[in-house]
Amino acid sequence: MNPSRDNTPYEDPRQLRAALRDLRDEDLIVLVQQGQKRAYDEIVARYKGRLFSFIMRMVKDPALAEELTQETLIRVYIHAAKYREIARFSTWVFTIATNLVRNKMRQRSRRPMMISLNPAPEDDEMPMDPADTRADTSEGIQREELGRLIAEATAKIPERYRVPFLLREVEQLSYEEIQQVTGLKLGTVRSRINRARTRFRALIKPMLKNETLLAELEEIEARAAAEDNGPATDE
Amino acid sequence: MRCSKARDYLSRDLDGLLPPAATTGLLEHLDACTECQSFREDLLTGRRLLAATEPQLPDNFDWKLQLRLNQALQQRAGETAYPWLEDEPASRRVQWWPAFGAAASVGLAAVLAVAVFMGPQRDPAAVTAGLAQAPVVTVAAATERVAAVTTSPAASLAGRSDRRSLFGAPRGGGLYDQGIGRSVSTGAISPSGAGIDRGWSGERLADLQTIQRLRERNDQLLRMVYQYEMQVRTLKARLDTTGTPGLDTGDSH
């Protein structure tokens, strides 16, 4: 991800990447402000998954979630100069993402759903896209199914509770950071997270009685732990 | 401790924000309440489920981002070339300028067309000759012309060969011979455009002043007509009450 000429003092990209990896987010964005494009690559690597996960759980539409994640990261780059270290970088990024999501959801609620009278394009008419090379393994399907159930449960939590809930449970932002992202009072943040947890628990309660599902959860966790402990692969 | 309070504490405990004093009370409650124990376990399992089902980014995410970023930067570079456009957000940027510009152009074109087609038609040779032999106008001759203009509107129009009625038919035969004259102020149609001098001077300010003057005069006349009508009605009413036959105003039904 290097939109223009790099001005790094490092000659070896690996050396540079390793150096950037050790930096805090706040230091990276300062480098971006100074024109260090590789620092932006590192920010993208750190945040793309987190942002996509958060936005996907908010909008429940993979294409839209991808678009909004990209939009957030583009805004981070374009408005990097506006960042001041009065707040944590993650707070700033998630504020951008939350605002984008809210605007999009507001637009969607205003605009009635349109149904196209044109027939759906045939398979061979579908626009070409580089293939998604993720392996379609049984693990993928298992995880996908579980993910679908959890996404459905999450989507049923009202939006005003869902934002602080996801920022806390998924992104592990502190209450103060959530307060900054949402603009709510600290007490309101706490009570909304509490209510969302109670609601989420009620929604997943039937799932928790399902032994197979719990076994799947344990399998997924074991696999993830094995991957984390496995040999590290250098890019 | 009540279960509702214990669950609030549980939520805070999950985030490591529960003070030690409250933690003791919570643990005591949990020992005695199986419902709240189950609640705590469910919250922890919910957290595990959320972590295990984190949505995966599509593999082509990076190149799509690269593409969009390049587009955004190009667009931004274009915008920087016009810094005055960056002063306000795109959403608030004046949207009516193009429409206004188009409407103004059409209006200007229409005015020019009217001025060209209905304006003075002079023979260029005559104009040149006229300029070479500048007429000497004496005070007496000028007075005569003024008198002629003020006595007859028709003469007024006839005497000003360099002006034509704005909406009337051009005199002396021509393409618009069958045209109709329309009063600028009231829109009333007169057979030939004669009656009021509505000559088009070609100067915007002068013409606007003429139009304004005519409107004021028209309003004044309408007020006078209204006053006369009221007087007539009053007189008729008086006559009716006195039993004498009323005046024939031409509007008896």
Q: How far, in Å, CA of A108 to CA of B104, rounded?
A: 37
Which of A133-142, A218-227, B198-207 is predicted with the least confidence, judged by mean pLDDT?
A133-142
Residues 6+ apart with CB under 8 A from B250: none
Cβ-contact B29, B6 below 8 angstroms: yes
Residue of B nearest to A221 (CA): B52
The tally of domains found in chain A comes to 2
Decide: helix, strand or coil at residue B136: coil
Residue B54: CA count within 13 A, CB half-sphere: 20
Q: How far, in Å, CA of A234 to CA of A14, rounded?
A: 9
Residue A191 pLDDT greater than 70, yes or no: yes
Return the structure tokens found at B234: 């009053």
Residue A100 pLDDT greater than 80, yes or no: yes
pLDDT confidence of residue A207:
81
Does residue A132 lie in a domain region? no
| Shortest alpha-carbon distance between residue B5 and chain A (Å) | 11
Which of A33-37, A38-42, B124-128 is predicted with the least confidence, judged by mean pLDDT?
B124-128
**Residue A121 pLDDT level (bands cut at 50, 70, 90):** very low
Of A93, A111, A129, the residue at which a domain comes to its end is A111
Which is nearest to A41 in space by CA: A13, A79, A11?
Answer: A13
Return the structure tokens found at B220: 């004044």
Burial class (CB in 10 A: 0-12, 13-18, 19+), A78: middle
CB-CB neighbors (< 8 A) of B72 in chain A = 74, 78
Is B65 in contact with A44 (Cβ distance < 8 A)? yes
DSSP alpha helix (H) spans, chain A: 13-21, 25-33, 37-59, 62-78, 89-110, 138-155, 159-169, 175-182, 186-208, 211-229
**Residue A101 pLDDT level (bands cut at 50, 70, 90):** very high
Q: Are residues A92 and A153 in the same domain?
A: no
Does residue A126 lie in a domain region? no
Which is nearest to B54 in space by CA: A164, A221, A113, A135?
Answer: A221
Cβ-contact B53, A151 below 8 angstroms: yes
Place of tokens 């643990």: B27
**CB contact, 8 Å: B50 with chain A?**
yes
Q: Are residues A106 and A143 in the same domain?
A: no
pLDDT confidence of residue A193:
93
Q: Average pLDDT in the B44-52 region? A: 87
Which of A7-21, A109-123, A208-222, B46-60 is predicted with the least confidence, judged by mean pLDDT?
A109-123
Does residue A118 lie in a domain region? no
pLDDT confidence of residue A164:
93
Does residue A121 lie in a domain region? no
Q: Are residues A95 and A148 in the same domain?
A: no
Give kind and range of the element (H or E) at residue A127: none
pLDDT confidence of residue B121:
58
Q: How far, in Å, CA of A167 to CA of A88, rounded?
A: 14
Residue A39 pLDDT greater than 80, yes or no: yes
pLDDT confidence of residue A168:
92
**CB contact, 8 Å: B12 with chain A?**
yes
Cβ-contact A37, A2 below 8 angstroms: yes
Does residue A189 lie in a domain region? yes
CATH number for A141: 1.10.10.10
Is A1 in contact with B66 (Cβ distance < 8 A)? yes
Q: What is the dihedral of CA A9, A15, A20, A23, to 10 degrees?
A: -110
Q: Are residues A106 and A7 in the same domain?
A: yes
**Residue A162 pLDDT level (bands cut at 50, 70, 90):** very high
Residue A106 pLDDT greater than 80, yes or no: yes
Look up the domain containing A36 and give its range.
1-111
| Shortest alpha-carbon distance between residue B104 and chain A (Å) | 34
pLDDT confidence of residue B165:
45
Strand partners, B181: B190
Q: Which of A40-49, A118-127, A220-229, B158-167 has the highest mean pLDDT?
A: A40-49
Q: Are residues A173 and A227 in the same domain?
A: yes
CB neighbours of residue A163 within 10 Å: 25
Indicate the residue of B17, B45, B53 with minimum beta-carbon distance to A147. B53
Decide: helix, strand or coil at residue B199: strand
Does residue A202 lie in a domain region? yes
Q: Average pLDDT in the B21-48 region? A: 87
| Mean pLDDT for all residues in chain A | 79
Complex ipTM: 0.74
A61-94 pLDDT tens trace: 889 999 999 999 999 998 888 888 778 888 999 9
Does residue A122 lie in a domain region? no
Indicate the residue of B17, B47, B56 with minimum beta-carbon distance to A134. B56
Q: Are residues A104 and A192 in the same domain?
A: no
Is B60 in contact with A130 (Cβ distance < 8 A)? yes
Q: Which amino acid is at B172?
A: G
| Shortest alpha-carbon distance between residue B73 and chain A (Å) | 8
Decide: helix, strand or coil at residue B166: coil
